[in-house]
């Protein structure tokens, strides 16, 4: 059936220009999607001799009918695959065979046993991802004794995107049932009107102030008009709007989108930016970060680095070229940093408490060190304090900066922001004073409150450095204790919780159209706007995935229909799936 190019030729109808209902619209793409999947598998079969393959070490029934646990040996990448080691993913399609075929015709040789299998779960504990669960068709009648005949697993393709599209087209109960935008696109009622009369009156002076700031990045008039038009439209709560930003190559579409995203963030408009490929979404995200730094000049009014917690990029890190700059906003890296910051044993509360303990108990720690070392040559009090301070302060600063960069601004009250900025400054001052050449051990002990002048026969005047150290210590203690009580941040949470927390709180989200499927399974605040970059390359049926997201109201398409169209394998309906 896979090799039969005429299998669905008479069943796939031309997709109409008008639709009777949402169901009619969604149903018109179901058979074409099946045909496209068949065509993709067929083209992969033609190159089966170049595909990654591995020997099957074991295979056993996994409970339900058609499900099996499978372990394989190391993967041989094959001549036609990338140089990176292949790793199995959910949605991968394998051919399980009793021999390793050199061509698709070998599978039809006498005595050869084979079947198609799909990966449904990959072992996360296996360093090489060699163990996974697969699903085969129930009607092929596999018996337990047949499992030993399968000796080789050959990778064909991944159909996860097509599975997600199918669910979006089939009213899947696990997805959000928001068809508001789709209905408005199928039956537009607001042609020519961007904003209703109510919102025009309430728009106020926001647009002029945004426009003035946008002029700093040298946008031309048509780019400014496009951004103003979108901002006016999305601020309207009474209409669902579709906008198209069109322009040939080199006209500044990506720059316009970057500026638009900045403006949407300014008006607190939760926005999902999608693109058809990983390369495209990484590209628009990279350009946005560059413009964001230009807008904010790297530093905010509190002297802290610009917070990126409102910006989040997520997807498959193995398929994305995540540069060092993008690591700050990529979900996987952000989660790793925040899990450490939220840890009960090494997180923000522990780091603040350790710094407080240093200022309160550093003398007693030194006394304990002397007792432990006995008569051996002890480290001096001054050197001990320097080392203890450096170790504790560096760990605290790193933790605070990770929190500041990775968490949305709303997680910090105005007082907390001021306290964080002041604390980092005072710690810097205290560290500088410790390195002062005029600082003596007696002076340091008095500054730390462990050596008094009261019982001394010859009272020495308090030096300026002693006063500064004592003042810096007192200020640090107060700021640390204030932060310990004012920061309303979690502790002792796992990776899944942090991942959900990041997605739930971000204002600007970036991913491929396929990866937006993940958002359907999460409790997140409603998204206001969907921006689709390189929209001419997106299959229309694939766009249904993000269009169904909870409470989505507005869509902005960016692209050029004269450039590359959507990539499809099937010739039966090759020109029926492009969006723009």
Distances (CA, A) of 185 to 196, 197, 246, 271, 468: 18, 21, 18, 19, 67
The model's pLDDT over 151-169, given as tens digits with 9 standing for 90+, comes to 999 999 999 999 999 999 9
| Of the candidate ranges 402-406, 475-479, 573-577, the one whose mean pLDDT is the lowest | 573-577
Domain spanning 47-158, CATH architecture:
Beta Barrel (2.40)
Q: Quote the pLDDT of residue 350.
A: 95
Higher pLDDT, 489 or 203: 489
Query: Residue 494 in contact with residue 350, Cβ under 8 Å?
Result: no
CA torsion through residues 115, 119, 125, 126, sign: positive
The set of residues, in sequence order, having a beta carbon less than 8 Å from that of 182 and lying 6+ positions away, is 22, 25, 544, 547, 548
Question: Which residues, listed in sequence order, are joined to residue 72 by a DSSP beta bridge?
Answer: 56
For residue 314, is pLDDT > 70? yes
Q: State residue 367's pLDDT score.
A: 79
pLDDT digit string, tens, across residues 284-295: 999 898 888 777
Return d(Cα 519, Cα 515) in angstroms, integer. 8
| Domain spans, the chain | 47-158, 180-330+493-559, 343-486
* Residue 542 · residue 165 · CB < 8 Å: yes
pLDDT surpasses 60 at 66: yes
Residue 53, strand partner residues: 76, 154
List the single range of 152-166, 316-330, 358-372 with lowest mean pLDDT. 358-372
Question: What string of DSSP letters covers 382-437?
Answer: HHHHHHHHHHHHHHHHHHHHHHHHHS-GGGS-HHHHHHHHHHHHHHHHHHHHHT-T
Query: To the nearest 10°, the Cα dihedral for 84, 85, 87, 93?
Result: 90
- Band (pLDDT 50/70/90 cuts) for residue 457 is very low
pLDDT of residue 297: 60
Q: What is the DSSP string of 299-353?
A: B-TTSSBPP-TTEEE-S-TTTS---HHHHTTBHHHHHHHHHHHT-TTTSHHHHHH
pTM: 0.85
Enter the tokens of residue 58.
């074991």
**DSSP string for residues in 327-340:** HTTBHHHHHHHHHH
Q: With contact defined as beta carbons under 8 Å apart, do 193 and 239 qualify?
A: yes
Please report which residue ranges of 180-268 form alpha helices under DSSP H. Answer: 180-186, 197-202, 206-214, 221-234, 253-266
* pLDDT the model gives residue 180: 84
Mean pLDDT for the stretch of residues 328-333? 94
What is the 8-class DSSP label of residue 541? Answer: H
Structural contact between residues 322 and 336, judged by C-beta atoms closer than 8 angstroms: no
Average of per-residue pLDDT values in the chain: 83
* Weakest-pLDDT range from 90-94, 135-139, 509-513: 135-139
Residue 96, beta-bridge partner list: 115, 153
Residues whose CB falls within 8 Å of the CB of residue 509, separated by 6 or more in sequence, listed in order: 270, 271, 272, 273, 312, 313, 314, 503, 519, 527
Helix, strand and coil in the chain, % to nearest 5: 45, 15, 40
Q: Name the least confident of 82-91, 119-128, 417-426.
A: 119-128
Q: How confident is the model at residue 579 (pLDDT cuts 50, 70, 90)?
A: very low
Name residue, tokens 């199918």: 166
Mean pLDDT of 307-334: 89
For 485-510, write each residue's pLDDT tens digit: 999 999 999 999 999 999 988 999 99
Residue 316: per-residue pLDDT = 86
Q: Provide, rounded to the nearest whole percent, the portion of the chain with pLDDT above 90.
A: 35
Average pLDDT over residues 453-476: 74
Distance separating alpha carbons of residues 67 and 288, to the nearest angstrom: 44
Bigger pLDDT: 88 vs 239: 88
Residue 455 has pLDDT above 50, yes or no: no
Q: What secondary structure does DSSP assign to 24-61, as a single string?
A: HHHHTTHHHHHHHHHHHHHHHHHTGGGS-EEEEEEEEE
User: Is 180-330+493-559 in the same CATH topology as 47-158?
Assistant: no
pLDDT above 70 for 127: no
DSSP bridge partners of 272? 509, 530
Domain 180-330+493-559 class in CATH: alpha beta
Structure confidence at residue 252 (pLDDT): 84
pLDDT of the residue at 158: 93
Q: Report the sign of the C-alpha dihedral through residues 204, 207, 210, 212, in that order.
A: negative
3-class DSSP state of 247: coil
Give the pLDDT confidence of 514-563 residue by residue, as tens digits: 999 999 888 888 889 999 999 988 988 999 999 999 888 899 999 888 87
**Tell me, what's the pLDDT at 193?**
58
Kindly give, in sequence order, each residue whose CB lies less than 8 Å from that of residue 194, ignoring residues fewer than 6 positions away: 229, 232, 233, 236, 241
In this prediction, residue 112 carries a pLDDT of 87
User: Per-residue pLDDT tens for 9-56?
Assistant: 777 777 888 888 899 999 989 988 998 899 999 999 988 988 999 999
CA 273, 277, 278, 283 dihedral sign is negative
Q: What is the mean pLDDT of residues 299-314?
A: 74
- Mean pLDDT over 371-391 rounds to 81
| Beta strands 311-313 and 508-512, pairing class | parallel
The whole-number average pLDDT for the span 252-275 is: 89
Task: Choose from 26-35, 136-145, 235-244 the range with maximum mean pLDDT.
Answer: 26-35
With a cut of 60, say whether residue 126 has pLDDT above it. no
Looking at per-residue confidence, does 417 or 192 come out higher? 417
Q: Are 522 and 504 in contact (CB under 8 A)?
A: yes
pLDDT of residue 202: 55
Residue 276 DSSP one-character state: S
Write down the pLDDT at residue 83: 54
Six-digit token string for 487: 């920061």
Residue 82 pLDDT > 60, yes or no? no
Measuring CA to CA, which residue among 530, 524, 525 is closest to residue 548? Answer: 530
């Amino acid at each position: 059936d896979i090799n039969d190019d005429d299998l669905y030729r008479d069943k796939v109808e031309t997709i109409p220009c008008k639709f009777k209902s949402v169901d009619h619209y969604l149903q018109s793409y179901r058979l074409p999607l099946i045909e496209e999947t068949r065509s993709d598998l067929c083209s992969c079969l033609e190159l089966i001799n170049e595909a990654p393959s591995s020997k099957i070490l074991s295979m056993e029934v996994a409970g339900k009918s058609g499900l099996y646990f499978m372990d394989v040996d190391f993967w041989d990448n094959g001549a036609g695959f990338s140089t990176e080691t292949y790793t199995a993913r959910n949605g991968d399609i394998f051919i399980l065979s009793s021999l390793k075929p050199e061509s698709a015709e070998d599978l039809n040789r006498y005595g050869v046993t084979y079947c198609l299998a799909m990966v449904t779960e990959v072992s996360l504990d296996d360093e090489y991802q060699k163990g996974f669960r697969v699903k085969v068709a129930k009607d092929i009648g596999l018996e337990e004794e047949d499992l030993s005949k399968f000796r080789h697993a050959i990778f064909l393709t991944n159909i996860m995107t097509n599975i997600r599209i199918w669910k979006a087209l089939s009213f899947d109960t696990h997805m959000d049932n928001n068809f508001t935008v789709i209905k408005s696109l199928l039956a537009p009622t607001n042609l020519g009107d961007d904003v209703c009369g109510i919102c025009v009156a309430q728009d106020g002076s926001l647009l002029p102030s945004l426009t003035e700031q946008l002029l700093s990045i040298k946008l031309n008039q048509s780019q400014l008009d496009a951004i103003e038009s979108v901002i006016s439209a999305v601020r309207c709560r009474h209409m669902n709007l579709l906008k198209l930003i069109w322009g040939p190559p080199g006209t500044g579409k990506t720059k316009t989108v970057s500026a638009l995203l900045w403006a949407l963030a300014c008006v607190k408009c939760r926005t999902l930016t999608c693109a058809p490929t990983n390369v495209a979404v990484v590209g628009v995200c990279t350009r946005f970060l560059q413009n964001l730094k230009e807008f904010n000049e790297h530093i905010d009014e509190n002297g802290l680095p610009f917070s990126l917690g409102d910006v989040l990029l997520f997807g498959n890190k193995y398929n994305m070229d995540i540069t060092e700059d993008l690591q700050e906003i990529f979900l996987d890296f952000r989660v790793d940093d925040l899990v450490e910051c939220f840890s009960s044993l090494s997180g923000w509360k522990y780091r603040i408490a350790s710094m407080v303990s240093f200022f309160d108990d550093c003398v007693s720690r030194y006394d304990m060190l002397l007792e432990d070392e006995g008569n051996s040559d002890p480290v001096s009090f001054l050197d001990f304090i320097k080392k203890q301070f450096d170790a504790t302060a560096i760990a605290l600063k790193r933790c605070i900066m990770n929190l500041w960069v990775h968490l949305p601004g709303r997680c910090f009250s105005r007082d907390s922001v001021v306290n964080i900025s002041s604390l980092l400054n005072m710690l810097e001052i205290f560290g500088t004073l410790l390195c002062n050449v005029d600082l003596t051990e007696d002076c340091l002990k008095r500054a730390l409150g462990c050596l008094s002048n009261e019982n001394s026969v010859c009272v020495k005047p308090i030096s300026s450095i002693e006063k500064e150290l004592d003042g810096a210590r007192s200020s640090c203690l107060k700021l640390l204790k204030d932060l310990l009580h004012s920061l309303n941040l979690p502790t002792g949470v796992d990776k899944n919780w942090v991942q959900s927390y990041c997605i739930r709180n971000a204002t600007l989200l970036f991913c491929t159209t396929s990866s937006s499927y993940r958002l359907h399974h999460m409790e997140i605040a409603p998204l206001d706007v969907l921006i689709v970059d390189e929209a001419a390359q997106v299959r229309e049926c694939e766009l249904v995935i993000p269009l169904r997201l909870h409470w989505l109201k507005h869509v902005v398409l960016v692209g050029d229909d004269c450039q590359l169209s959507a990539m499809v394998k099937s010739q039966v309906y090759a020109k029926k799936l492009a969006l723009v």
